[in-house]
């Protein structure tokens, strides 16, 4: 079991379907800059293959301080302004504190919904 102080940001942004691909293309530069920031282990904004105007957001930060540094950096408003320029019509993004992280598959290769590493410690 691995105890963490990680923060995960996950959600969706909806834009005009005819402009989504252009929005993601334009967002490559601020995405790359953010990925290079200390404490950023994941920063992915990607197209939903089934909903034409939907962009999925997934970010993983090693601490609140690293996320705060991102919010204070020029990369955050650059990404926000870039996507906003393509007409946001819906937004549902939340942040989550992570206190436990473990593999989906147990040592026998079985996918598990429970947190089985707690059982191993007991």
pLDDT tens string, the chain, 122 residues long: the values are 444 589 999 999 999 999 999 999 999 999 999 999 999 999 999 999 999 999 999 999 999 999 999 999 999 999 999 999 999 999 999 999 988 888 999 999 999 999 887 655 54
Report how far Cα 53 is from the mean position of its chain's Cα atoms.
18
CATH code assigned at 87? 3.30.70.100
Flag whether 108 is in a domain. Answer: no
Print the domain residue range for 98: 7-102+114-121
Quote the strand ranges of the chain, DSSP E.
7-15, 40-47, 54-61, 88-97
- 1 within domain boundaries: no
Is residue 29 in a domain? Answer: yes
Name the 3-class secondary structure at 82: helix
- Count up the domains in the chain and report the number: 1
């Amino acid at each position: 079991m691995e105890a963490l102080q990680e923060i995960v940001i996950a959600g969706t942004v909806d834009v005009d379907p005819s402009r989504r691909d252009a929005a993601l293309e334009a967002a490559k530069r601020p995405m790359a800059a953010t990925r290079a920031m200390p404490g950023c282990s994941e920063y992915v904004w990607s197209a939903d293959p089934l909903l034409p105007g939907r962009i999925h957001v997934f970010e993983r930060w090693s601490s609140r301080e690293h996320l705060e540094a991102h919010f204070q950096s020029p990369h955050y408003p650059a990404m926000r302004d870039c996507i906003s320029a393509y007409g946001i019509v819906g937004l549902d993004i939340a942040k989550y504190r992570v206190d436990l992280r473990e593999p989906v598959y147990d040592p026998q290769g079985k996918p598990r919904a429970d947190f089985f590493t707690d059982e191993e410690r007991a």
